[in-house]
Structure 1
Amino acid sequence: MKGSTKRKIKVFAVLLTSSFLAWLISQLSETYTDQITFRLNYVHVPDSLLLMNASQKDVTLTVRGSGWKFLGSRFSSGTLDIDLSKVTLNKNRFFLRERDYMEQLASAIPQAMSIVRVNSDTLFFDFSRLVSKKVPVVPALELNLAQNFLLEKELEVVPDSIILTGPEQELDTLREVKTELLELNDVSESFTRTLQLVRPETLQQTRLNVGEVRLSAVVFRFSEKILDVPVDVINLPEGTQIRTFPNTVEVLCKARLEKLKEITATDFRAEANLEEVQDNSAFLQVRLVHQPEGIPSIQLLQRQVEYILKRE
């Protein structure tokens, strides 16, 4: 192409571009009305309530502003936080009036733009009232001790109970919370384990104040001792004597050797109730009604005795 033709094309391109830019600036400087839709995110729900449902999940605003502002708003966030701390209850219905959240709507658009209309003047909500409940923690433990070993005392769970906070309908029938399963075999030493709590499937909206507990147990090698404890018969009719065969029962105790040395038969009381005899049975049922503390295992080896009644 000749030089003069090239210059003419360049000039034409510059003029065309300038004209387009002038037209674009003119158009963007005009005032327009359009709609912008925001996804609603509800925040600051009162502590005593749980949000179950809302009448609207999004809101559409009719706004007015220059073309420049509309051009920028196309790239703004599509999510808007709505503060529910001012939610109102009237006739068993929770709601938020337009004036209570209009300021939040206005903050979502550029300052040079104004809100002409909102597609909903009142937001309605369904809440469930939250309650707190304290329930015990039950460890899921399968424990098999090594031969000649015992637990010195009951398993220790820390904490032994937890606080649940949630809808009343979820917590109404709940009585306990279990831990994950722990299997221990041939145990001959004391142990401590951290166990996760198992959330019941029915607790969809409930919070647990802790998620795990510590399980501890003291394991020791035991010694044995058998004591002959006299049988006391109660509710004997006046003017009647009784004799039991045998007149003592054997009690097997398992504990540390130093503890066994301290106990005697007088630390126990074995009792039989004559009023509990049925159908002229020749046997009396025996049970331990008193025993010393600190003995991990106490077993009554004879649970019944024969007897003879004699009138005085």
Structure 2
Amino acid sequence: MAIVKLSATERRRLSAFFTCLVLAVLAWLFTTLSTPQPYTIQEVLTYKNAPQKRAFHSLQPDTVNATVQGTGWQMLFSSMNKESKPITIDLSTLETRNYVVLNSQLKQINLNKDITQQIISIDPDTLYFDFSNRLVKKVPVQLMLGIKYRKQFAVSGNMIIKPAYITVSGPTERLKQINLWKTDSLLKTDVSETVNTRINLQSVKEGNLNVYPKTVQVIIPVDEFTEKTLDLPVKLINNHNYDNVKVFPQRVKVTFTTSLNRYPDMTEELFEATADLDLWRDHGYTTLPVKLTRVPPFCKIVKISPTNIDFIIKK
């Protein structure tokens, strides 16, 4: 392949040409991007002053196309910035009609916009709403947990949510589908003490629903756990014929974990160990497995020794 060799003068001229070309392109881009021009962006809608006596349902998506007057630089940066503030729409006119004209609220909307990014029109121009009777319903709060406890620590009592029920108001048909309301996820790691905090409820995704209150207090008792062993008597059940049955052994050792605070209170009266005589009568068992039919809450059984007992039936 032939290689064109340029003299030093020709190389300087070629370098100057490309330098001028790049500068001309940059100047053109700068001028073009600095010139004010309208461009369209998608905006998310939020609502305020919703009717208190009328439940509503929007008949269109919660996003609109907004035409903005700005420079090319602003258009470029707006496409890169996905966290623009939503447009807040005043719904006070829905008390007397079923639509809202957006362009009539442009002055109010632009008060919250940068002076260099004023909205000049919105498409669609009008939002339409469907109405139904507004009802109120109380539903339980469901706590969403993502807690990791330190080794040997765990929940030691009932979790408390205040309030346990929240009020939801909205259309009848929609409320029939709501049986609970979830909180945001409560995320914690290496927890070794009681959790007492406030957490937000999951946000309302529909403009025709209201939830009160927006936050709840959560109390999660946490304590260190240790092992304890008790000797429990074995209770024979389903002795329908009142046979004279002797079991061996008559007591079993039960090892379980419990919180340090409740350790002294863990006595045999709180537990019940049983052996079912029907297993012999109906299924021919020669030994009877021991089952715990009553265990205090927040106790975890580690082992039962022995797990099976012998028995003798005297005729």
Q: Give TM-score, length-normalised by structure 2.
A: 0.53
**Greater shift in the superposed pair: 220-229 or 137-146:** 220-229
SS at match of 1:302: strand
TM-superposed deviation, 1:189:
2.0
Q: For 1:216, which of 191, 215, 219 is the aligned residue?
A: 219
Deviation at 1:191, TM superposition (A): 2.2
Q: In the alignment, is the contact (CA less than 8 A) between 1:135 and 1:162 conserved in 2?
A: yes
Looking at structure 2, the residues matched to 126 and 267 of structure 1 have their Cα atoms a distance apart, in angstroms, of 58
Separation in 1 of the partners of 2:226 and 2:139? 37
Distance apart, 1:226 and its partner CA: 0.7
Over 3 Å counting, the alpha-carbon distance change for 1:309 and 1:300 in structure 2 is farther
User: Does 2:155 match 1:151?
Assistant: yes
1:240 matches 2:235: no
- How many Å apart are 1:151 and its aligned residue? 2.3
The aligned amino acid for 1:247 is Q
Q: Residue 50 in 1 paired to residue 62 in 2? A: no
Alignment match of 1:272 (pick from 266, 275, 279): 275
Of stretches 241-250 and 167-176 in structure 1, the one that deviates more from structure 2 is 241-250
Deviation for aligned residue 1:296: 3.6
CA contact (8 A) 1:189 1:218 kept: yes
- Residue in structure 2 matching 1:188, options 173, 188, 192: 192
Tell me if 1:174 matches 2:178.
yes
Match of 1:173, SS? coil
Q: Is 1:198 matched up with 2:202? A: yes
Q: AA paired with 2:303?
A: L
Alpha-carbon contact 1:249-1:301 (below 8 Å) kept = no
Note the C-alpha offset of 1:225. Answer: 1.2
Instruction: Indicate if the aligned counterparts of 1:180 and 1:198 stay in contact, CA closer than 8 A.
Output: yes
Deviation for aligned residue 1:214: 1.9
* Contact kept in structure 1, 2:223 and 2:261, CA below 8 Å: no
Give 1:165's aligned residue: 169
On the 8 A contact 1:231/1:247 being kept in 2, the answer is yes
SS at 2:166 equivalent: strand
Show the 5 A alignment for 1:33-182.
47=53, 49-51=54-56, 81=93, 84=96, 127-182=131-186
Distance 1:199 1:83, change over 3 A: closer
- Rounded to whole Å, the distance in 2 between the matches of 1:156 and 1:148 is 22
The percent identity for this pair of structures is 24
- Counterpart residue number, 1:60: none
Partner amino acid for 2:193?
A: E
Matched residues in 1 for 2:94 and 2:182: separation?
A: 38
Q: Distance in 2 between matches of 1:169 and 1:197?
A: 22
Deviation at 1:146, TM superposition (A): 1.0
Please give the alpha-carbon distance, in whole angstroms, between the structure 2 residues aligned to 1:266 and 1:44: 58
> Could you list the per-position Cα deviations for residues 136-192 of structure 1 after superposition, in whole angstroms to 9, with x for gaps in the alignment?
111111222111223231222222211111112112132211111222222112222
Question: Is the Cα contact below 8 Å between 2:255 and 2:304 reproduced in 1?
Answer: no
Segments of 5+ residues of structure 1 without an aligned counterpart are: 1-42, 55-78, 88-93, 95-124
Q: Could you report, residue by residue, the CA deviation over 1:15-45 in whole angstroms, capped at 9, with x for unpaired residues?
A: xxxxxxxxxxxxxxxxxxxxxxxxxxxx995
* Rounded Cα–Cα distance in structure 2 between residues aligned with 1:281 and 1:204: 64
**Aligned equivalent of 1:227:** 230
Separation of aligned partners in 1, 2:273 and 2:94 = 71
CA distance in 2, matches of 1:237, 1:44: 68
RMSD between superposed Cα atoms in Å: 3.6
* Shift in Å, 1:275: 3.8
Shift of 1:249: 3.2
Q: 1:224 to 1:300 in 2, by over 3 A?
A: closer
TM-score (norm 1): 0.53
Task: Name the residue aligned to 1:207.
Answer: 210
Q: Which residue of 1 aligns with 2:313?
A: 310
Q: 2:299 aligns with which of 297, 300, 306?
A: 297
